[in-house]
Structure 1
Amino acid sequence: MNKQETGDSGARTLRRGLHILAALRGAPDGLDILGIARALAMQRTSVYRYVSVLVEEGYATRGPDDGKYRVASAWAQPADARALSVAQLAPAMRRISDETGDSSFLISRVGSDSLCLHREIGSYPVQVLAVTIGHRQPLGVGAAGLALLAALPADEAEAVMQQNREALRSYGNMTIARMRLLVKATRDRGWSVVGNAAVPGVLGVGVALRDAAGYPRLAVSVSCIVDRMPAARQRTIAELIRRETGAVA
């Protein structure tokens, strides 16, 4: 096969993937494999291969109950919207870090991952800076990611955990069963409290931020060494995050 033929094949593959995404965007209730195949006049085996890649890369999700595929909600928020989120929330995060003396982090969801959009550094001599701007990790890992995962609708959160089943093992040998317990505790408490699986001796508190429609799209967390995060301070920090971000979230 020459280069021209290879290029044409790649273009066709991309085009089919985009057509599937367009079909999913036009079906808020989701589509199963047969529905996608009928809508696009494609073979079911081909559709399955394409949607498997879309799910794996975080562009689509599969409902655990109905088995239908949907566009991952995170991709409804374009890059310029994320930049606006940083511009709006950076001053609040600066105040949070000034008051606590610790680092604060802003994350958004990208498919089944969390993406660090911004961070502020506090004044305390020991700062926890394990997550850098642009860092991606499975949603649910870290305080902000856990807060965001727990705030999702139950079926959507379960789908994310299933997608991340293998990836989670790299973070303290995390399992879906353990992650479900963390999600439940976060929902019951109203904010997340979690240690950093990559950095022992670190604890973070995270709060999900909802958009005007009530959907959780962002989360803010504060992380520090465990000795600086007793239970009473965890609550104080969660309330501080809510207070400072409430007017702009």
Structure 2
Amino acid sequence: MAAAQSVTRALKLLKIIMARADSGVRFSELVKLSELDKSTAHRILEALERESLIYKSEGTAAYYPLVASHLENKNKKIKIVFAEVIRALAEVTGDTVLLMSRDGDYAECLERQSGDYPVKALTTEIGQRRLLGIGSGGLSILAKLDDDEIRGFVQRNLHEPALAAIGEESFWEEIRACRKLGYALVGDRITSGTRSIGVNFMRQGYDVSLCVVAVNSRMDENRLPWLQEKILLTVKPLEEPLQVKGLAAALN
């Protein structure tokens, strides 16, 4: 009887969280809606987290449901962590911001947010995958690897037309430039008339790049260091999650 009661309570909490998949549910609200006492609710939520059925956002302290596959779970966590960062960066720059995450030899676009500049540079769709090194996001991720890992990547993917079009010598020049500058810069490769800057962030649990994409006229040499600075500033508060809210105002 006790075991059945525990299952019922867990399912009650899980159903509440699943019903609020987009906004999440904070602990106090879960206690109120489930009519469970705090200690019981806390114990059940910890068990659901251990089983990767739910995820607690460090930034908002809200609980979110997770899906079945490990990769989807990981990507959902990354999107939650970077949600406010992407929104703030798009607001401050006025341009399109991409969140690219490494998946083996590829980078996948997990999220895209457009700023208020009237000419949109929509070079990449959410869910789209590109070989590392082709876009600025994948290039910034690849540049953080050691040379032997990069050589292995090149050998595995020499047959890919996108990589062959760049050429191995030019490819290595771009890697070296990225390491020197601290960001990757790609222009006109994916969509004519656009440039993008990508900065890689590798932490426990994720290896991603934040990219700002805009028309060429907005990506001159004077603006690029400013964009890099804004990208780095947006990510810095992730070390102190409670300060992420209101990030755009702090960057202005």
Please state which band the TM-score falls in when normalised by the shorter chain. Answer: 0.5 to 0.7
Q: Give the Å deviation of 1:172.
A: 8.4
**2:208 aligned partner:** 218
Match of 1:192 among 184, 196, 200: 184
The question of 1:120 aligning with 2:113 is answered yes
Match of 2:150 among 144, 157, 167: 157
Match of 2:123 among 124, 130, 145: 130
**1:24 aligned partner:** none
**1:95 aligned partner:** 88
| AA in 2 matched with 1:243 | L
Aligned residues: 170
**1:229 aligned partner:** 219
Question: Which runs of structure 2 are paired with 1:71-82 in the superposition (5 Å)?
Answer: 78-82=71-75
**2:194 aligned partner:** 202
* Moved segments of 4+, more than 3 Å: none
Are 1:103 and 1:121, in contact at CA under 8 Å, matched by a contact in 2?
Answer: yes
For 1:146 and 1:189, how far apart are their aligned partners in 2?
13
Q: Secondary structure at the match of 2:192?
A: coil
The superposition leaves residues 84-133 of structure 1 with CA deviations (integer Å, 9 ceiling, x where unpaired) of 11111021111111011100001111111111111111111111112001
Q: Give the Å deviation of 1:154.
A: 2.2
The superposition leaves residues 154-176 of structure 1 with CA deviations (integer Å, 9 ceiling, x where unpaired) of 22222222222221x33682112
For 1:180 and 1:112, how far apart are their aligned partners in 2?
16
Q: Secondary structure at the match of 1:79?
A: helix
**2:67 aligned partner:** none
| AA in 2 matched with 1:106 | L
Q: Secondary structure at the match of 1:83?
A: helix
For 2:140 and 2:190, how far apart are their aligned partners in 1?
18
- In 2 relative to 1, CA 185–173 (structure 1 residues): closer, same or farther, beyond 3 Å? same
For 1:238 and 1:161, how far apart are their aligned partners in 2?
27
Q: Secondary structure at the match of 1:246?
A: helix
For 1:196 and 1:166, how far apart are their aligned partners in 2?
22
Are 1:142 and 1:196, in contact at CA under 8 Å, matched by a contact in 2?
Answer: no
Q: Secondary structure at the match of 2:134?
A: coil
Q: Secondary structure at the match of 1:198?
A: coil
Instruction: Give the TM-score normalised by the residue count of structure 2.
Output: 0.63
Flag structure 1 segments of 5+ consecutive residues without an equivalent.
Answer: 1-76
Are 1:112 and 1:163, in contact at CA under 8 Å, matched by a contact in 2?
Answer: no
Question: Which runs of structure 2 are paired with 1:18-167 in the superposition (5 Å)?
Answer: 78-167=71-160
Identical counterparts, % of pairs: 27
- In 2 relative to 1, CA 172–122 (structure 1 residues): closer, same or farther, beyond 3 Å? farther
Q: CA RMSD in A?
A: 1.9
Flag structure 2 segments of 5+ consecutive residues without an equivalent.
Answer: 1-69, 240-252
